[in-house]
Amino acid sequence: MRIALIGQSVFGEAVLKALVERGEEVVGVFCPPDVEGRRPDPITVAVKEAGVPLYQFGRMRDVEAIAAFADLSADLGVMAYVTDIVPDEILQDPKLGTIQYHPSLLPIHRGPSSINWAVIHGDDKTGLTIFWPDKGLDTGPVLLQKTIEIGPDDTTGSLYFDKLFPLGVEALVEAVTMVRDGNAPRIEQDHSAATYESWCKANDVTIDWNRPVRDLHNLIRGSDPSPGSGTALNGAEVRFFKTSRQNDDTGRPPGEVVSVNGDGFVVAASGGSLMVRRVKPSGQKKLAGAEWAAAVGLKPGDQFGDRA
């Protein structure tokens, strides 16, 4: 089949390499333009190594992008990590249609930050979906799905890089084979069961110390590695990453520092406490919790939660 790939970043790069290694005929790759002063997108390097034509348009909706895609006479379109709006003219152009990767079990967690929200909501499983995109946002028929467990200390980062990334590459390659063999289903989603969440932004993950320790742990690991869950100490903002949860009640008010040690620091919460091992002070890089605690003179009895 003649495959046109739309993608970017390391995931798009990995999908391109996997398709080429399997001998698939990739006739063109579309990715966002390079940004001056930044490193080229990893997929552009892989494209040059593979000798595949590269197309970089500011918007896939541009007339020039639509025309360039049509000129490829693709049999199948493959979307591997796409943040732009891809118009229906491109989705419907390939003879056999277009397939797309999404890191959730659709119709649950439609939207751009699906991994974050699955963890924040305390889900015990998630997965990926390869589907046939349509005019809606993650609403098209399902081709295949893979399920994974969310461990009690999994973060958005660990789920993606350790599980959903490699499994997603394999699933897209499997889906391409199914399309070629003529046995790729189009299973309509149960739209009545759908959920949607937008981007997970800093304002969405501010720590409310009155919430149960379980919810706070989910919030922090769901926003790790980005954007981090925010709180404040003496009016200065700090974001938390890499926490572990203890369910023993400390008897201290929520948000109060219980102890500081070489691993980080422990903060009381409703129904337990959190060991914080990594932080990001406002305007600085991420630091080990113990290093930051020493720098600011953090001590038992200090109180988090006052607003900057």
Q: Spell out the domains of the chain, with CATH numbers in brackets.
A: 2-193 (3.40.50.170), 204-296 (3.10.25.10)
In the prediction, which pLDDT does 308 show?
41
Q: What φ, ψ does residue 42 adopt, rounded to 5°?
A: -55, -30
257 vs 263: CA distance, rounded Å: 14
Q: Which residue has the tokens 């219980």?
A: 258
Beta bridge partners of 187: 142
Neighbouring residues of 205: CB distance < 8 A, sequence distance ≥ 6 = 120, 219, 220, 222, 223, 227, 228, 229, 230
DSSP 304: B
Q: Confirm if 292 and 285 have CB atoms less than 8 A apart.
A: no
Record the tokens describing residue 255, joined without a space.
Answer: 């948000």
Q: Which residue has the tokens 């800093």?
A: 202
**E-state strands within 190-249:** 229-233, 236-246
Q: Confirm if 167 and 145 have CB atoms less than 8 A apart.
A: no
Residue 79 to residues 13, 76, 181: CA-CA distances in angstroms?
A: 12, 10, 19
For 50-81, what is each residue's pLDDT tens digit? 999 999 999 999 999 999 999 999 999 999 99
For 220-273, what is each residue's pLDDT tens digit? 999 999 999 999 999 999 999 999 999 998 999 999 999 999 999 999 999 999
77 vs 98: CA distance, rounded Å: 4
Q: Could you read off the pLDDT tens digit of each residue along the chain, which spans 308 residues?
A: 999 999 999 999 999 999 999 999 999 999 999 998 999 999 999 999 999 999 999 999 999 999 999 999 999 999 999 999 999 999 999 999 999 999 999 999 999 999 999 999 999 999 999 999 999 999 999 999 999 999 999 999 999 999 999 999 999 999 999 999 999 999 999 999 999 999 999 999 999 999 999 999 999 999 999 999 999 999 999 999 999 999 998 999 999 999 999 999 999 999 999 999 999 999 999 999 999 999 999 999 999 996 44
Residues 208-221 as b or e (16 or more Cβ within 10 Å = b): ebeeebbbbbbbbb
